[in-house]
């Protein structure tokens, strides 16, 4: 189960978030947590390949890169 501040990211639709209907165990969840709270996230696209990645940072200075697909 995903908890706020656990250092994981999970996939959910915007409508689920707005309605408060998020699943307890999301279908897509990161496998390794960051040590701190995730404080920033950016979606970037490789212009040559079209591949998308999420770049995130936590309050302890850690930086992570996740596959978007």
In a domain, 21, yes or no: yes
Q: Which helix (H) or strand (E) holds 15?
A: helix 14-19
Question: How sure is the predictor about 31, in pLDDT bands with cuts at 50, 70 and 90?
Answer: confident
Residue numbers of the domain that contains 21: 14-67
pLDDT over 70 percentage in the chain: 84
In a domain, 28, yes or no: yes
Q: What distance lies between CA 51 and its chain's CA centroid?
A: 16
In a domain, 35, yes or no: yes
Coil, helix or strand for 65?
strand
Query: What is the total count of domains within the chain?
Result: 1
In a domain, 39, yes or no: yes
């Amino acid at each position: 189960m995903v908890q706020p501040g656990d250092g994981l990211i999970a996939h959910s639709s915007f409508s689920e978030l707005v309605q408060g209907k998020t699943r307890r165990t999301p279908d897509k969840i990161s496998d390794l947590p960051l040590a701190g709270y995730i404080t920033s996230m950016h979606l970037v696209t490789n212009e040559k390949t079209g591949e998308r990645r999420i770049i995130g940072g936590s309050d302890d200075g850690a930086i992570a890169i996740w596959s978007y697909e």
